[in-house]
Amino acid sequence: MLETPFIDIHTHHSIRIDNVLSIINCFPEQIKLEEHTDKYISVGIHPWHLNNDSADENLNLIRTFALLDKVLAIGEIGLDRNRTIALSIQEAYFTKQIAIAESVNKPIIIHCVRYFQELISIKKKLKASTPWLIHGFRNNIQIVEDLLQQNCYISFGEALLFDKMTQDVFIEVPIKRLFLETDESTYSISDIYKKAAQLKSLQLNDFKTKLFENYTAVFHAK
């Protein structure tokens, strides 16, 4: 029997690691498909990248890439209050990319910084049917409860190793709504899994199985 892999739902590292199934984050203008023929990727316009003249061109690239089997998700996309780009512009490109995800029935991976109420408002307004995954979560329990009410998935990264508030919030999230990731961290996904399993009072193999079930459900993967 094959060992259940670790699932790294969002990473900027493209190095292949044994027994790790990674979804590599790619920006549309940087994709070289020949480098990713044997890898799963996500693709999207990050809210940090909206202050240039190529956003509309990149949207067209995403529409093309979204049709590919190796592209499992649209993202990371979203909203960020720490940027000088107007919320109206961020929302416009966010909703356009949500529409692309809906058209191909693929989940979205979301970057959100201090715009959670706006994010939830968009979710309610659009009545989006594809899964929404909030990546790199390290906020408070009230926000996570609001997101869970909207059927979002919550992904935790390296903060789970050392941040007490993140750990406390993680413990409260139902396991059927959880994912883990490395993002840009130097910590391995196995390190994060081991801490997560400990916090959930589960054996590592049991925890891996449960997150793999989440992965297969959300990404329709085999």
Measured between alpha carbons, how far is 10 from 167 in angstroms, rounded to an integer?
Answer: 19
Measured between alpha carbons, how far is 214 from 20 in angstroms, rounded to an integer?
Answer: 15
3-state secondary structure of 126: helix
Beta bridge partners of 156: 180
Orientation of helix 141-149 relative to helix 164-172, angle to 10°: 30
Structure tokens at 162: 């050392």
Beta strands in the chain (DSSP E): 6-11, 20-26, 40-43, 71-80, 108-113, 132-134, 153-156, 178-180
How far CA 210 is from CA of 13, 180, 189, 197, 207, in Å, comes to 24, 12, 15, 11, 5
Q: Is 13 annotated as a binding residue?
A: no
Q: Is 191 annotated as a binding residue?
A: no
Q: Is 111 annotated as a binding residue?
A: yes
Phi and psi torsions of 3, nearest 5°: -75, 140
Q: Is 36 annotated as a binding residue?
A: no
Measured between alpha carbons, how far is 15 from 92 in angstroms, rounded to an integer?
Answer: 33
Annotated binding residues for a divalent metal cation, written as ranges, equal: 76, 111, 135, 183
Binding residues are 76, 111, 135, 183
